[in-house]
Structure formats: C-alpha cells, structure tokens
A = this chain, B = another copy of it.
Amino acid sequence: MADAFRQALSDAQGMVRRWSEKSGLAQSPDASTLSMAMGSALAGGKAFRAFLVLESSRLYDVDEEPRERAAFAIECLHAYSLVHDDLPCMDDDDMRRGRPTVHREWDEATAVLTGDALQTLAFQLVSNPRVGPHAASLTESLARASMAMVRGQMADIAAERVETPLTLQEITQLQSEKTGALITWASTAGPQLVGAHSEGLSRYAKAIGLAFQIADDVLDETGDAAAVGKAVGKDSAAGKATFVSHLGLDGARARARELVEEACDALDTYGDAADTLKQAAQFVVDRTH
C-alpha cells in the first residue's frame, strides 16, 4: 500500500474514532446501551468512505468541520447498513469487522434501533448549520444515495429468491445502487461542500465502486475469514451469481484492474494533487480484507 494513502486512511480512521468519542459513542461505564452499540458498529472499520470525503475535500479546500461532519456521516450511514444487513432476517452474520455483530453482542431489537439511530445521526451531522450554505443540498444527495442503497439491497434479496441467476449487467446495476451510491457520494462530497460539481470525481467513483464490489467477490471466493473479519465463501456456497461466477477469477481480476485505470484517468485534471486517490483505487483491488 502506497505511503500517502496508508497515512491518509489511518488519519480517516483516527477522525472516525474522534467523532465517535465526541458524539458520546465511545465505550464508557456510564454509556447507554444504544451509545455503546452505535460505537461498536462504528469501530474497527477501514474508514474508506470517510477517506474519500476527506480527500475530495482536500482538492476543493473545504474547511475542517464541514469535511469531518460529511466524513463521519457517511461512516454512520455505512455502519447502519451493515448492522441491518447482518440481522438474522437478512444475511444472518455473527461477525463483522472482527467482532460480534450488534445482534449477537446485544439482541435483535437493539440492532434494529442501533441501525435506525446511526442513519438518523448521519442526517443530523450533515444538516447542521456548521456544514455551511450547502448543508441542505448535501443532505438531500445523501438521502438519494441512501435510498439507492436500500433499493440495491431489496434487489439483492429478490435475486436470491429467483431461480435464474442475474446477468452481468443486472449485477452491475444492482451493485451500483447497493454499494456504488455511497462511494459516489463520498467521492464527490468535497465539491458538493463548496457548491461545485466534478465530472472527474463522479467517473472515478463509478469505476472504484464497481472495482470494490468485484474485489469483494474475489475475496469471498479466495479470502481468509480471519483476515476479512467476516464469513467468506457464502455467495459461492449459495450458488449466487457474482462477478466471479460470470467472469471467472482471472477475468474478474482483469476487469478490476481495467477499472482502476479508468478511475485514475478520470482524475487527470487534478494532476499530482489526486495521487492519494489514485493509490486508493489501487488499494481497492489489492486489499486482502
């Protein structure tokens, strides 16, 4: 992993920890169950989406508080989706980010409400007046991304219940909603925070979002549960159509590499300032967890 990216990702993780503490979500003897469960859901993540917000903000000279609010918000929204996704009625997972899932550590009702509260917190963070004059439009675009995510999750569940496996095009569409929408929001938060628009960052986000999912499918096939921090091999065992089942392992890896190139090309206008984002694109396909 390239040094600049390694450092920036570690900074983003530190920022998430700081905002978790600031928001009263850290482990402490007098914390409520809700606070502890929210803090637990936020802990130990890669903070990749927060990193994207912070880096795209750097390109647009966004002030510290607005960019950190947006970065923490996207991690809250992502964490909410994981807590609900892990529920017994959804993916029924026991482990997440190397620790017990919220419904395993506490119970299902706590997990439902913890996810609900994390979603609420995300919107509370970005609609705050301190985000500046573009708070409302940033909040609305976060809501659109969040809605796309839920649509993608519904499509994912529906796909598991039909006999015909999804086509490559259908999987691509589903993933662009399920995981791509939040990655796109994060990658374009910087310009959005100053009322600007960036075609380059949108194209970058689209490419890494897809590469991210392809890499996830590859990891599900080849990864080690301990390193990945959650169960692996579930999709393949379930006979689910994935990028790997369509393209094969080598084909999927090759497609991911192509997408990394597309992502880097899209950032040409930013010159060296975008080097860390380019390293991030590479990380997306090289990661082992």
Question: What are the residues of chain B within 8 A of A128 when measuring CB–CB?
Answer: 136, 140
Could you say which of A53-61, A147-155, A168-176, A252-260 contacts chain B? A147-155
Copies in the complex: 2
Whether A123 lies near B150 (C-beta < 8 A) is: no
A7 within 8 Å of B (CB atoms) = no
Interface size on A, residues (CB 8 A): 42
Q: 1/0 contact trace for A111-147 toward B, CB 8 Å?
A: 0110111011101100111010001110110111011
Whether A33 lies near B150 (C-beta < 8 A) is: no
Chain A contact residues: helix, strand, loop or mixed: helix
Give the contacting residue for A113; candidates B121, B137, B154; CB below 8 A: B154
Known A-B contacts A116-B115, A127-B143, A147-B124; A109 and B136 likewise in contact (beta carbons under 8 Å): no
* Distance between A88 CB and nearest chain B CB, rounded to angstroms: 8
Give the contacting residue for A123; candidates B107, B110, B143, B158; CB below 8 A: B143
* Distance between A247 CB and nearest chain B CB, rounded to angstroms: 28
Whether A117 lies near B158 (C-beta < 8 A) is: no
Question: What are the residues of chain B within 8 A of A154 when measuring CB–CB?
Answer: 32-34, 110, 113
* Distance between A85 CB and nearest chain B CB, rounded to angstroms: 9
Measured CA separation A121–B157 after assembly (Å): 21
Whether A136 lies near B147 (C-beta < 8 A) is: no
Question: What are the residues of chain B within 8 A of A87 when measuring CB–CB?
Answer: 108-109, 112
Known A-B contacts A143-B127, A158-B33; A150 and B120 likewise in contact (beta carbons under 8 Å): yes
Known A-B contacts A87-B112, A89-B108, A116-B84; A127 and B127 likewise in contact (beta carbons under 8 Å): yes
Measured CA separation A142–B136 after assembly (Å): 13
Question: What are the residues of chain B within 8 A of A89 when measuring CB–CB?
Answer: 107-109, 112
Measured CA separation A231–B108 after assembly (Å): 22
Question: What are the residues of chain B within 8 A of A238 when measuring CB–CB?
Answer: none
Question: What are the residues of chain B within 8 A of A110 when measuring CB–CB?
Answer: 154, 157
Measured CA separation A79–B120 after assembly (Å): 15
A90 within 8 Å of B (CB atoms) = yes
Whether B84 lies near A112 (C-beta < 8 A) is: yes
Name the interface residues of A19-38: CB closer than 8 Å to any CB of B. Answer: 32-34
Instruction: Pull 17 A–B residue pairs with CB atoms less than 8 Å apart, ordered by A.
Output: A32-B151, A33-B154, A34-B150, A84-B113, A87-B112, A113-B150, A113-B157, A116-B116, A117-B147, A119-B119, A120-B146, A121-B147, A123-B123, A123-B143, A127-B137, A128-B140, A139-B139
Q: A33-B158, A84-B116 are in contact. List 6 more A-B contacts (CB 8 A).
A: A89-B109, A117-B150, A120-B146, A120-B147, A121-B147, A124-B143
Per CB-CB distance, the 5 closest pairs between chain A and chain B, nearest first, are A124-B143, A89-B108, A127-B139, A135-B136, A127-B140
